[in-house]
Amino acid sequence: MRSENKADIRRILIFISLSFGLFWIPELILDNTVGFDEWHDGQYGMISAYEMLVPAIANALTRLITKEGWGDSKLHFHLKGNVRYYVLGFLQPIAAGIMAAVTMTVFHGHPDAGELVDRLTSADDIAFLLTNMIAPIFFMLFLAFGEEFGWRGYLYPKLEKAFGTVGSVVIGGTIWGLWHTPLIIHGYNFGSDYAGAPYTGIILMCINCIFIGAILTWLTKKTDSIYPASLMHASNNMQTLNIGLLLVMGVSDDVLSKITPFQGNVILIIQEVILGTVFMILLMNGRKKAEKHISKKAVGNVR
Amino acid sequence: MTGLIYKEYKQNRILLLLTAAAAFAGIILPITLTAQIMGTGIKEILLRQEEQLINGIKLISLLVAYLASGFMQGLIFRSDNRRIYSEFIASTPDGIKGYMRIKYELTFMMSMLMLISCNIFDNLLALISQITTDDCYSCSGVVMILFYVQLLLRSLEIPFTVRFGIKQGSIIKSIIMIVLMLILTVVVLTDPSGIMTHIADCIAGNDEILITGTPKLLMGVFPVVSFMSFCLSYKVSCRLYMKGAQRNEI
């Protein structure tokens, strides 16, 4: 048992070294040679998106290096009886967006049913959302698979064995958040104009990853497949939460234009923390139920 | 279930490789060949947006690549069409639904492979030419549309192949294709609200896509309808599988 733990910790360390090394080293070199903006938005913008595949590559390499095999790789779809988790995964970012919209309306605007109806029935608005946020979902799913196959498919299950479910979500989320550091330093997620930049951004990203990680872990555990989590990640990256913007009522353009990327992200992180806490509780309950079930079984076997 | 997946992978791995090769042939080859024939660099070819001929070549080669990948997807359903095997499949724990699910998943994965490969090769071309994908004619939008068209075509074709066998299935598929082509021809010729002229201008690089109102809504709804019909097609195929199997003599 002890040697198994040791082997798991060795695997975790190899995985972390590979996923950080394969992302950070090229990223830092290219940021300083090609330039961050050119690498992410300019000439190489689409190529840099493939960096999301690094955790999947790290997973595969770790399995090969440690000769672990491909058991429990969570690559099955497990669609039977689990379609609702796929739907939930896709809808979760939209729910966060709607919650953010309601928050924004409460603090900066006033409910305006007329405006709401106009937006919800506008063919152009709906078409924009469908073509820009729904149609490319499958390509984004491929990129999101890259991250999920690494984090939820490898790191989290290994951490869970050593630190328990909550421990795995907290430690895994922190590692996942820190992985984004080179991007946050250059203002990719939060911009550069905020107090304590970039350290505040890094801390916020870790908090965000811990709570989103709770939801993604719950989906992965429920289905024993990484695809519902990948779908949620893809939906999140496709900015489907902007569907919530349709519900922002009575907020003037003047107020909307003053919201910085940092403020916008903070509003969203608050929603993710609320939703993530719910799923964290569900994860803990699930763990307790499983433990009870095992102990009952053990008692039954003794009798 | 794992056994079925392994079997399908073993039987169809060549098709998976050929799908990626089709994407390569559809994206990289026409550009490099055109560059060779015209005696210029790839960058010059990609940046010559005003050249309708070059954009036309790219579009046609992409369509041919998609037709080839569609043909390969059809081949997935051509194996295992013996009655005795169908009865064995029905008796397994996963049953017909599990078997059909694997087939549909593989078809979907092949479509995804085509979509991903086309995007990767498209970006690779832009990268080696040292230009942004915004500067040149990027086929990622067209690839996206073709991906959903392919899903819709498979969702129509597969139930017929499952129910009536390969031969009749192919005939029905051809009829559907001809009807679709006729509808498309009528739309192109009559061109209601000038959409086709606008799309042609966009492909030629003379105009930016500025479709609004109901046509834009229809374009937005199309991917959703296409994916839903693919899911519905699976349900229909499951119901038709045994009826189709009864037609086989052995």
- How confident is the model over B126-174, as pLDDT tens digits? 777 766 555 666 677 788 888 998 999 889 888 988 888 777 777 877 8
Nearest-by-Cβ selection for B224 from A45, A47, A134: A134
Residue bearing the bigger pLDDT, A158 or B27: A158
pLDDT of residue B85: 82
Does the CB of B195 have a partner CB in chain A at under 8 Å?
A: no
Do B164 and B241 touch, CB atoms closer than 8 A? no
pLDDT of residue B203: 53
Q: The dihedral of CA B194, B199, B205, B207: what is its sign?
A: positive
Q: Do A76 and B130 touch (CB under 8 A)?
A: no
The overall pTM is greater than 0.80: yes
Q: Do A135 and B101 touch (CB under 8 A)?
A: no
Residue bearing the bigger pLDDT, A188 or B43: A188
Which residues in chain B (212-241) have CB-CB distances under 8 A to chain A? 212-214, 216-217, 219-221, 223-224
* Closest-CA distance of chain A to residue B11, Å: 18
Rounded Cα distance between A92 and A232, Å, is 7
- What residues of chain B lie within 8 A of the CB of A129, using their CB? 220
Rounded Cα distance between B250 and B241, Å, is 15
Cβ atoms < 10 Å from Cβ of A106: 10
Rounded Cα distance between B238 and A296, Å, is 40
SS3 B91: helix
Size of interface A-B (CB pairs under 8 A): 67
Among the residue ranges A141-145, B16-20, B226-230, the one predicted with the least confidence is B16-20
- What residues of chain A lie within 8 A of the CB of B221, using their CB? 130
Rounded Cα distance between B150 and B72, Å, is 12
Rounded Cα distance between A166 and A277, Å, is 11
Q: The dihedral of CA A137, B64, B150, B18: what is its sign?
A: negative
Is the predicted pLDDT of residue B200 greater than 70, yes or no?
A: no
Rounded Cα distance between A103 and A91, Å, is 18
Q: Write the CA distances from B237 to A206, B7, B169, integer angstroms.
A: 46, 20, 13
Does the CB of B115 have a partner CB in chain A at under 8 Å?
A: yes
C-alpha Rg value of chain A to the nearest Å: 21
* pLDDT tens for chain A, residues 1 to 303: 567 788 899 999 999 999 999 999 999 898 888 888 877 876 677 778 889 999 999 999 999 999 998 888 898 888 888 999 999 999 988 888 888 888 888 888 887 778 778 877 787 778 888 887 788 889 899 999 999 999 999 999 999 998 999 999 999 999 999 999 999 998 888 888 888 889 999 999 999 999 999 999 999 999 999 999 999 999 988 877 777 777 777 787 787 788 888 888 888 899 889 999 999 999 988 877 777 776 776 666 555
Q: Do A138 and B115 touch (CB under 8 A)?
A: yes
Does the CB of B5 have a partner CB in chain A at under 8 Å?
A: yes
Which residues in chain B (60-79) have CB-CB distances under 8 A to chain A? none
Max avg pLDDT among A281-285, B31-35, B166-170, B244-248? A281-285
Do A186 and A300 touch, CB atoms closer than 8 A? no
Closest by CA position to B68, among listed B121, B34, B17: B17
Max avg pLDDT among A109-113, A124-128, B113-117, B190-194? B113-117
Provide CB contacts within 8 A for A282, sequence distance 6+. Answer: A218
What residue type is A14 in one-letter code?
A: I
Alpha helix (H) residue ranges in B76-212: 83-91, 95-128, 140-190, 195-204
- What residues of chain A lie within 8 A of the CB of B5, using their CB? 76
Burial level of A258, CB count in 10 A (0-12/13-18/19+)? Answer: exposed
Q: Do B213 and A124 touch (CB under 8 A)?
A: yes
